[in-house]
Amino acid sequence: MAVEFAKAPQHWGAFVIFGPMTILENDHLRVSIRPKGAELTSIFHKPTGIEHLWQADASVWGWHAPNLFPVVGGCLNNQVLIDGKTYPMERHGFTRQSLFETTESTTTHAIFSLRSSVVTRVHFPYEFDFQIMYELDGPRLTVTYRVVNQDEKTVFFSVGAHPAFAAPFFVNENLEDYFIEFEEAEDLETHMLSAGGYFTGETKPVPTEGHRLPLTKHLFDEDALVFKNLASRSVSLRSDKHDHAVTVSFPSFPYLGLWAKPGASFVCIEPWLGCADSEGELKPIQQKEAIQQVGEGEVFEAAFTIDVK
């Protein structure tokens, strides 16, 4: 069996061996997931032959669809404050760099698990089992995050998704042919981020055309667009040239991020339960904006879906 070696974050001080891909497949979609980060690496639509996931060109952005846990966004001083003690925490958490165990796998269903360990406790001093479940049903992929509290106290955390969808879909198109369509008419207002990736407290209107947010090469010149008060619970990536579309539905996720490297041929649609810190002083984890919690012996669960037409 071939193995892939990848350098872990510097503070992990080791190399990690990654196992084989997990493939889910039906008549509509073929989905690939790698053990590193339990990360989607492909969403291939069989009827059209379109690969809908960004293929992680490392010279542009070397990820496909990282899962974010136990924080979303940047933490002040790259730290979290838990029970009066600071712990090192990189942007978006350590999950995307971690090796998951595959605990269940069929042709259309898989569950991945990351359990607390000596390594995770350096950064996040809780006992937990973070599970990511993938389920294919026709042209729909459901992604479910589950946090199992195995500690003797409440666990505080954030969780979110960061899938990058390839755009344009076809070689004879341009990014400017595409738009994000919101489920509801929205007066969009993005929450501004500093150069360090922290909220500044400022907001800025984002012009729309009805339900549409046109995509342009300069839309993300000032970093991600972060929406905290959307009426919509789903958004679609669409083109003026055809009816093919990808729809992300996020009924349990109050925050949504949209982002791309300026000029890149993808757009990230990011449902979040949590967000970056605001500029100022580091706050205890339970006071972080949009923080989630799961009590002793309890299980937290939230799901979003990706539909391909």
Q: Say yes or no to pLDDT of 13 above 90.
A: no
Q: How many CB atoms lie within 10 A of CB 13?
A: 8
pLDDT at 157 over 90: yes
Output the CA angle 29-34-40, nearest 5 degrees: 45
Residue 263 pLDDT: 83
Mean pLDDT of 163-192: 96
- pLDDT score at 262: 86
**Mean model confidence pLDDT for the chain:** 93
Q: Residue 213 pLDDT more than 70?
A: yes
**Which parts of 125-211 are beta strand (E)?**
128-137, 140-149, 155-157, 159-161, 164-166, 178-182, 189-193, 199-205
Asked whether the predicted pLDDT for residue 66 surpasses 60, the reply is: yes
DSSP state of 167: S
Q: Tell me the torsion sign for CA atoms 89, 151, 273, 259.
A: positive
Residue whose token pair is 């946090």: 147
Mind listing the pLDDT tens digit for each residue in 231-275? 999 999 999 999 999 999 999 999 999 999 988 999 999 999 999
